[in-house]
Amino acid sequence: MRFSHASKVKMSKDLPSENYIRVRDRKAEDGSKRDLSYPDLPEPLRVGTYDNHTHLEIADGENPMDYREHLELANQAGILGGVQVGGSVETSKWSAEIAAIEPRLVAAVALHPNVAAEYESLAELDAAIAEIAKLASQPRVRAVGETGLDYFRTEAERTFLQQHSFEEHIQIAKENNIALQIHDRDAHEDVVATLLRVGAPERTVFHCFSGDVELATILKEHGWYASFAGTVTFKKNQSLRDALALLPKELILVETDAPFLTPEPYRGRPNSPYLIPITVRKMAEVREISEDEMAEQITKNTEAVYGSWSADI
Ligand SMILES: [Zn+2]
């Protein structure tokens, strides 16, 4: 059994308040009756790699962990570090602050498309975008994200706010010569059209890639990156695996989107960067290469997108 040597994950109950922003209490939020304990530590990767997209400001599960506990476990699993991603002014500030003091994290800052759509007016949205632009010039902020379009959760009459926000965020990434992390939910066509119209930044990443072979072909054509989350392990998502098989190896990244999108067989339980080995193993299987080769390639790609984790701290 692959995970027979898995060790039990220990969690603390008392979190220092500066080490997280919110607790996602799913039992209170939606009466979830799921197992909300953290999965066991998987067999570690032999070749270290990075989590391209995580939200460690959210403490989740029965016994929530703060970012330092996540990172300790991640190190035990062979994870070198990650990109801590903001989705609001508040979480972007937190991400930039933590990345400035924590060598295992770099930051991405942005207004999530669903956050952008909640602003009352364009003027208020622009004021928030100006805050993001200020953060984007900090040396440990290596990406603008997550920004993009989300037609799943936003009503049609409010998507103009998302569209405006997305275009402004693209400019901020270009002005600072840093990467762009795109959130694209049910909006492939408009995301691609926007990138082509406005001009994509040099390093453009589709976070939690959710497309098929058709979108993967477009990414390949333009040299855009696809970051695969735990969703690539879900049985029903053969189209994601087909897309992964088609992409050039230089454009492939891996992420957790923790605390969301926990890979199989732990779907529904809280996610954490230490679970990256499970997704990397699945990706190696799809690519028909060894997990060491897969991890090594992702590490190379990740550093090409965001730069060195050890710089500027
Ligand atoms: Zn995310």
What's the CATH number where 161 sits?
Answer: 3.20.20.140
Cα 307 from Cα 300, distance rounded (Å): 10
Lowest mean pLDDT among 8-17, 131-140, 218-227, 251-260: 8-17
Residue owning tokens 């460690």 = 56
Average pLDDT over residues 163-176: 98
Token pair in block for residue 225: 């990156």
Cα 82 from Cα 255, distance rounded (Å): 8
pLDDT of residue 191: 98
Lowest mean pLDDT among 42-51, 84-93, 151-160, 253-262: 151-160
Closest CA to 85 of 295, 241, 307, 273: 273
The per-residue DSSP string of 58-93 comes to EEESSS---HHHHHHHHHHTTEEEEEEE--SHHHHH
Average pLDDT over residues 303-311: 96
114 CA to centre of ligand 1 in angstroms: 11
Cα 59 from Cα 56, distance rounded (Å): 7
Average pLDDT over residues 277-292: 98
150 CA to centre of ligand 1 in angstroms: 12
In a domain, 241, yes or no: yes
Residue owning tokens 């991603």 = 85
User: Helix, strand or coil for residue 248?
Assistant: coil
End-to-end CA distance of the chain: 41
42 CA to centre of ligand 1 in angstroms: 22
1 CA to centre of ligand 1 in angstroms: 32
Domain count, the chain: 1
Q: Which DSSP state fits 7?
A: B
Average pLDDT over residues 195-224: 98
In a domain, 10, yes or no: no
Q: pLDDT band for 10, please (50, 70, 90 cuts).
A: low
Closest CA to 83 of 17, 165, 168, 140: 140
210 CA to centre of ligand 1 in angstroms: 13
Contact indicator for 104, 309 with CB cutoff of 8 Å? yes
For residue 118, give every residue at least 6 positions away whose Cβ sits within 8 Å of its Cβ, in sequence order, or none.
none
Q: Phi then psi for 276, rounded to 5 degrees?
A: -50, -40
Question: Is the Cα dihedral 178, 144, 92, 29 positive or negative?
Answer: negative
Residue-wise pLDDT for 11-29, tens only, equals: 555 666 678 888 888 877 7
pLDDT of residue 27: 77
299 CA to centre of ligand 1 in angstroms: 20
In a domain, 38, yes or no: no
More confident residue, 281 or 65: 281
> Is residue 165's pLDDT more than 50?
yes
In a domain, 114, yes or no: yes
In a domain, 185, yes or no: yes
Domain, as residue range, for 86: 59-306
In a domain, 120, yes or no: yes
Q: pLDDT band for 2, please (50, 70, 90 cuts).
A: very low
Identify whether 259 is preceded by a cis peptide bond (ω within 30 of 0). Answer: yes
Token pair in block for residue 185: 């939910």
Contact indicator for 247, 206 with CB cutoff of 8 Å? no
pLDDT of residue 14: 62
How high is the mean pLDDT of the chain? 93
119 CA to centre of ligand 1 in angstroms: 20
In a domain, 137, yes or no: yes
Average pLDDT over residues 190-197: 98
> Is residue 185's pLDDT more than 70?
yes
Could you give the percent of the chain with pLDDT greater than 90?
83
Q: pLDDT band for 62, please (50, 70, 90 cuts).
A: confident
In a domain, 4, yes or no: no
53 CA to centre of ligand 1 in angstroms: 6
85 CA to centre of ligand 1 in angstroms: 7
Residue-wise pLDDT for 110-130, tens only, equals: 999 999 999 999 999 999 999
User: Helix, strand or coil for residue 181?
Assistant: strand
Q: Could you tell me if residue 90 is left (phi over 0), alpha (psi between -120 and 50 degrees) or otherwise beta?
A: alpha
146 CA to centre of ligand 1 in angstroms: 6
